[in-house]
Amino acid sequence: MFSFKNQFGYFGQHWFGFVIIVHVAAFVFQSVVIRPFEIAVAGHIGSLASLLFLPHAVRVLSVWLLGPKAFFALFPASLFVNFLYGPVDYGSFTFVLIPLWSSASAVLAFEFLRITNRNVYPSTAANIDWRSLVFAGCLASFFNSLGGTYLKSDGLTVSEILELLVRYFVGDAVGLLLCLFVLTLLLRYHGIWKR
Protein backbone atom coordinates (compact mmCIF):
# COMPACT_ATOMS: atom_id res chain seq x y z
CA MET A 1 0.00 0.00 0.00
CA PHE A 2 1.19 3.49 -0.85
CA SER A 3 2.32 5.58 2.09
CA PHE A 4 3.30 9.22 2.00
CA LYS A 5 5.89 8.57 4.70
CA ASN A 6 7.54 5.79 2.66
CA GLN A 7 7.28 7.50 -0.71
CA PHE A 8 8.49 10.88 0.48
CA GLY A 9 10.76 9.65 3.28
CA TYR A 10 13.79 11.59 2.09
CA PHE A 11 11.78 14.78 1.70
CA GLY A 12 10.11 14.14 5.03
CA GLN A 13 13.50 14.09 6.72
CA HIS A 14 14.72 17.18 4.88
CA TRP A 15 11.40 19.01 4.65
CA PHE A 16 12.72 22.37 5.86
CA GLY A 17 15.29 22.83 3.09
CA PHE A 18 13.07 21.25 0.45
CA VAL A 19 10.15 23.60 1.16
CA ILE A 20 12.43 26.64 1.18
CA ILE A 21 14.06 25.68 -2.14
CA VAL A 22 10.78 24.90 -3.90
CA HIS A 23 9.06 28.03 -2.56
CA VAL A 24 11.95 30.31 -3.56
CA ALA A 25 12.18 28.63 -7.00
CA ALA A 26 8.44 29.10 -7.58
CA PHE A 27 8.67 32.73 -6.54
CA VAL A 28 11.72 33.42 -8.71
CA PHE A 29 9.91 31.86 -11.69
CA GLN A 30 6.87 33.96 -10.81
CA SER A 31 8.91 37.16 -10.62
CA VAL A 32 11.08 36.59 -13.69
CA VAL A 33 8.57 35.02 -16.11
CA ILE A 34 4.98 35.79 -15.11
CA ARG A 35 5.20 39.13 -13.28
CA PRO A 36 6.75 41.20 -16.12
CA PHE A 37 4.00 40.03 -18.47
CA GLU A 38 1.28 40.95 -15.97
CA ILE A 39 2.80 44.37 -15.31
CA ALA A 40 2.89 45.01 -19.07
CA VAL A 41 -0.78 44.06 -19.37
CA ALA A 42 -2.29 45.33 -16.09
CA GLY A 43 0.13 48.04 -14.98
CA HIS A 44 0.85 48.73 -11.31
CA ILE A 45 -1.94 46.48 -10.03
CA GLY A 46 -0.26 43.57 -11.86
CA SER A 47 2.82 44.09 -9.70
CA LEU A 48 0.76 43.82 -6.49
CA ALA A 49 -1.08 40.56 -7.22
CA SER A 50 -0.90 37.98 -9.98
CA LEU A 51 -3.69 36.15 -11.79
CA LEU A 52 -1.49 33.02 -11.79
CA PHE A 53 0.45 32.77 -8.53
CA LEU A 54 2.35 29.47 -8.35
CA PRO A 55 3.94 29.93 -4.88
CA HIS A 56 0.47 29.60 -3.32
CA ALA A 57 0.42 25.99 -4.50
CA VAL A 58 3.74 25.41 -2.71
CA ARG A 59 2.27 26.86 0.48
CA VAL A 60 -0.87 24.74 0.27
CA LEU A 61 0.87 21.49 -0.66
CA SER A 62 3.54 22.01 2.02
CA VAL A 63 0.98 22.53 4.75
CA TRP A 64 -1.13 19.66 3.39
CA LEU A 65 1.79 17.21 3.53
CA LEU A 66 3.66 18.52 6.58
CA GLY A 67 1.00 20.18 8.71
CA PRO A 68 1.46 23.50 10.54
CA LYS A 69 5.23 23.01 10.90
CA ALA A 70 5.54 23.93 7.20
CA PHE A 71 5.07 27.54 8.31
CA PHE A 72 8.60 27.50 9.77
CA ALA A 73 10.05 26.95 6.30
CA LEU A 74 7.51 29.02 4.36
CA PHE A 75 7.97 32.19 6.41
CA PRO A 76 11.77 32.54 6.01
CA ALA A 77 11.44 31.63 2.32
CA SER A 78 8.71 34.26 1.85
CA LEU A 79 10.73 36.83 3.78
CA PHE A 80 13.76 36.11 1.60
CA VAL A 81 11.89 36.47 -1.71
CA ASN A 82 10.09 39.56 -0.42
CA PHE A 83 13.52 41.02 0.32
CA LEU A 84 14.67 40.19 -3.23
CA TYR A 85 11.55 41.09 -5.21
CA GLY A 86 9.22 42.99 -2.89
CA PRO A 87 8.49 46.69 -3.24
CA VAL A 88 10.85 48.92 -1.31
CA ASP A 89 8.19 51.54 -0.56
CA TYR A 90 6.57 49.54 2.27
CA GLY A 91 7.47 50.30 5.86
CA SER A 92 9.60 47.69 7.63
CA PHE A 93 6.64 46.43 9.67
CA THR A 94 4.47 45.88 6.58
CA PHE A 95 7.47 44.41 4.77
CA VAL A 96 7.53 41.61 7.38
CA LEU A 97 3.75 41.32 7.80
CA ILE A 98 3.10 40.52 4.13
CA PRO A 99 5.23 37.31 4.07
CA LEU A 100 4.08 36.45 7.61
CA TRP A 101 0.43 36.58 6.60
CA SER A 102 0.89 34.81 3.27
CA SER A 103 2.86 32.00 4.97
CA ALA A 104 0.24 31.61 7.68
CA SER A 105 -2.78 31.65 5.35
CA ALA A 106 -2.58 27.96 4.39
CA VAL A 107 -1.95 26.90 7.99
CA LEU A 108 -4.98 28.91 9.11
CA ALA A 109 -7.17 27.32 6.42
CA PHE A 110 -6.12 23.72 7.12
CA GLU A 111 -6.32 24.12 10.88
CA PHE A 112 -9.71 25.83 10.61
CA LEU A 113 -10.99 22.87 8.60
CA ARG A 114 -9.45 20.40 11.06
CA ILE A 115 -11.10 22.15 14.02
CA THR A 116 -14.45 22.07 12.22
CA ASN A 117 -14.10 18.28 11.68
CA ARG A 118 -13.08 18.47 8.00
CA ASN A 119 -9.55 17.17 8.31
CA VAL A 120 -7.94 17.47 4.89
CA TYR A 121 -4.47 16.21 5.83
CA PRO A 122 -3.59 13.01 3.89
CA SER A 123 -2.98 9.57 5.32
CA THR A 124 -2.76 7.37 2.19
CA ALA A 125 -2.99 7.94 -1.56
CA ALA A 126 -6.08 5.77 -1.73
CA ASN A 127 -8.14 8.28 0.20
CA ILE A 128 -6.88 11.62 -1.06
CA ASP A 129 -9.86 13.91 -1.22
CA TRP A 130 -8.82 16.24 -4.03
CA ARG A 131 -11.96 18.35 -3.75
CA SER A 132 -11.31 19.00 -0.07
CA LEU A 133 -7.70 19.85 -0.86
CA VAL A 134 -8.83 22.36 -3.50
CA PHE A 135 -11.39 23.77 -1.05
CA ALA A 136 -8.69 24.16 1.63
CA GLY A 137 -6.42 25.86 -0.92
CA CYS A 138 -9.20 28.24 -1.95
CA LEU A 139 -9.93 29.00 1.70
CA ALA A 140 -6.23 29.75 2.17
CA SER A 141 -6.44 31.96 -0.90
CA PHE A 142 -9.41 33.78 0.61
CA PHE A 143 -7.52 34.40 3.86
CA ASN A 144 -4.44 35.50 1.92
CA SER A 145 -6.46 37.83 -0.31
CA LEU A 146 -8.04 39.58 2.68
CA GLY A 147 -4.76 40.10 4.51
CA GLY A 148 -2.68 40.85 1.44
CA THR A 149 -5.16 43.37 0.11
CA TYR A 150 -5.38 45.09 3.48
CA LEU A 151 -1.59 45.29 3.77
CA LYS A 152 -1.11 46.56 0.21
CA SER A 153 -4.13 48.87 -0.03
CA ASP A 154 -2.41 52.07 1.08
CA GLY A 155 -2.91 54.76 -1.56
CA LEU A 156 -5.25 52.68 -3.75
CA THR A 157 -8.73 53.70 -4.84
CA VAL A 158 -11.76 51.60 -3.90
CA SER A 159 -11.94 50.07 -7.38
CA GLU A 160 -8.22 49.21 -7.27
CA ILE A 161 -8.68 47.59 -3.85
CA LEU A 162 -11.52 45.44 -5.19
CA GLU A 163 -9.44 44.50 -8.23
CA LEU A 164 -6.52 43.63 -5.95
CA LEU A 165 -8.78 41.46 -3.79
CA VAL A 166 -10.04 39.57 -6.85
CA ARG A 167 -6.54 39.23 -8.34
CA TYR A 168 -5.23 37.79 -5.07
CA PHE A 169 -7.99 35.21 -4.79
CA VAL A 170 -8.06 34.22 -8.46
CA GLY A 171 -4.26 34.13 -8.78
CA ASP A 172 -3.80 31.89 -5.76
CA ALA A 173 -6.65 29.57 -6.78
CA VAL A 174 -5.55 29.30 -10.44
CA GLY A 175 -1.92 28.72 -9.41
CA LEU A 176 -3.04 25.94 -7.07
CA LEU A 177 -5.31 24.31 -9.67
CA LEU A 178 -2.60 24.38 -12.33
CA CYS A 179 -0.04 22.82 -9.99
CA LEU A 180 -2.51 20.16 -8.81
CA PHE A 181 -3.30 19.30 -12.43
CA VAL A 182 0.41 18.90 -13.23
CA LEU A 183 0.98 16.95 -10.00
CA THR A 184 -1.90 14.58 -10.81
CA LEU A 185 -0.47 13.94 -14.28
CA LEU A 186 2.99 13.27 -12.82
CA LEU A 187 1.63 10.92 -10.16
CA ARG A 188 -0.35 8.98 -12.75
CA TYR A 189 2.60 8.87 -15.16
CA HIS A 190 4.86 7.43 -12.46
CA GLY A 191 2.19 5.00 -11.31
CA ILE A 192 2.10 6.44 -7.78
CA TRP A 193 -1.57 7.33 -7.96
CA LYS A 194 -4.08 5.57 -10.16
CA ARG A 195 -7.72 6.46 -10.41
pLDDT (0 to 100) of residue 48: 76
pLDDT (0 to 100) of residue 11: 56
Q: Which of 69, 81, 67, 64 is nearest to 22 (CA)?
A: 81
Name residues of the chain where pLDDT drops below 50. Answer: 1-6
Q: How far apart are CA 45 and CA 22, in angstroms?
A: 26
Q: Which of 140, 77, 58, 52 is nearest to 104 (CA)?
A: 140
pLDDT (0 to 100) of residue 125: 56
Length of the chain: 195
- The CB-based long-range contact list for 129-135 (8 Å cut-off, 24+ gap) reads 130/180, 130/184, 133/60, 133/64, 133/180, 134/176, 134/177, 134/180
pLDDT (0 to 100) of residue 155: 82
Q: How far apart are CA 57 and CA 52, in angstroms?
A: 10
pLDDT 10s digits, 76-126: 999 999 888 776 566 678 888 999 999 999 999 999 999 999 989 887 655
Amino acid at 24: V
pLDDT (0 to 100) of residue 128: 74
pLDDT (0 to 100) of residue 130: 83
Q: How far apart are CA 44 and CA 59, in angstroms?
A: 25
pLDDT (0 to 100) of residue 194: 52
pLDDT (0 to 100) of residue 2: 42
